Chains A and B, each alone.
Chain A
Amino acid sequence: MSSAALQIEGVGKTFATAGGAVEAVRGIEIEVAQGEFIAILGPSGCGKTTLLRMIGGLIAPSQGDVRMSGQSILSGGNAAEARLGELAFAFQESRLFPWFTIEENIALPLRLRGVSASERIKRSRDLCQLVGLKGFETARPSQLSGGMRQRASLARALSVSPKLLLLDEPFGALDAMTRDQMNIELQRICATTNATVVLITHSIAEAVFLADRVVVLTPRPGRIHAIHKIELPRPRTIDMQETPEFQNHVRAIRTDIAGYPS
Chain B
Amino acid sequence: MKSANENILRIALPTLCLAAVFGFWTLYVRNAEISPFVLPPPGKIATAFYNLVFDPAAWRHARITVTETLGGFLSATVVGILAGTAMAKFPPLEWTFKPFIIILQLVPKIALAPLFVLWFGFGLESKIVISAVLSFFPIFANTLLAIKSVDAGDREVFASLRASPLQTFVMLEWPSALPVILTGMEIAIVLATIGAIVGEFIGGNAGLGHLALAKLQELQVDGLFAVILMLTLIGLAMYGAVTLLRRLLVPWHQASGNVL
Contact of A108 among B159, B161, B252, B253 (CB under 8 A): B161
Instruction: Apart from A56-B160, A98-B253, list 5 A-B contacts with CB within 8 A.
Output: A84-B162, A88-B160, A95-B153, A95-B154, A140-B252
Q: Determine if A81 is an interface residue (Cβ-Cβ < 8 Å).
A: yes
How many cross-chain pairs have Cβ atoms below 8 Å apart between A and B? 41
Contact A93:B153 (CB < 8 A) given known A99-B175, A112-B162? yes
Q: How long is the Cα–Cα vector from A131 to B134 in the complex, in angstroms? A: 52
Q: Determine if B205 is an interface residue (Cβ-Cβ < 8 Å).
A: no
Q: Determine if B149 is an interface residue (Cβ-Cβ < 8 Å).
A: no
Question: 3 closest A-B pairs (Cβ-Cβ)?
Answer: A99-B175, A89-B160, A98-B252
* A89 nearest CB neighbor, chain B only: B160
Q: Are A85 and B153 in contact (CB under 8 A)?
A: no
14 contacts between A and B (CB under 8 A): A58-B156, A58-B160, A84-B162, A89-B160, A91-B156, A91-B157, A95-B153, A95-B154, A97-B176, A109-B161, A112-B162, A112-B163, A112-B164, A112-B167
Q: Determine if B213 is an interface residue (Cβ-Cβ < 8 Å).
A: no
Q: How long is the Cα–Cα vector from A248 to B164 in the complex, in angstroms? A: 48
Q: Range of interface residues on chain A? A: 10 to 19
Q: How long is the Cα–Cα vector from A111 to B161 in the complex, in angstroms? A: 10
Taking Cβ atoms with an 8 Å cutoff, the residues of B that contact A are 153-154, 156-157, 159-164, 167, 171-172, 175-176, 250, 252-253
Q: Are B252 and A58 in contact (CB under 8 A)?
A: no
Taking Cβ atoms with an 8 Å cutoff, the residues of A that contact B are 56, 58, 81, 84-85, 88-89, 91, 93, 95, 97-99, 108-109, 111-112, 140, 142
Q: Are A99 and B252 in contact (CB under 8 A)?
A: yes
* A92 nearest CB neighbor, chain B only: B153
Q: Which residues of the partner chain B approach A81 to less than 8 Å between Cβ atoms?
A: 162
Q: Which residues of the partner chain B approach A95 to less than 8 Å between Cβ atoms?
A: 153-154, 156-157
Q: Are B159 and A58 in contact (CB under 8 A)?
A: yes
Q: How long is the Cα–Cα vector from A80 to B176 in the complex, in angstroms? A: 31
Q: How long is the Cα–Cα vector from A93 to B153 in the complex, in angstroms? A: 9
Q: Are A97 and B175 in contact (CB under 8 A)?
A: yes
Q: How long is the Cα–Cα vector from A88 to B253 in the complex, in angstroms? A: 28
Q: How long is the Cα–Cα vector from A93 to B157 in the complex, in angstroms? A: 11
Q: How long is the Cα–Cα vector from A97 to B175 in the complex, in angstroms? A: 9
- A63 to nearest B CB, angstroms? 22
Q: How long is the Cα–Cα vector from A23 to B211 in the complex, in angstroms? A: 72
Chain B CB count within 10 A is highest, among A58, A84, A99, A111, for A99
Q: Are A108 and B160 in contact (CB under 8 A)?
A: no
Q: Are B161 and A99 in contact (CB under 8 A)?
A: no
Q: How long is the Cα–Cα vector from A98 to B154 in the complex, in angstroms? A: 11
* B254 nearest CB neighbor, chain A only: A142
* B154 nearest CB neighbor, chain A only: A95
* B252 nearest CB neighbor, chain A only: A98
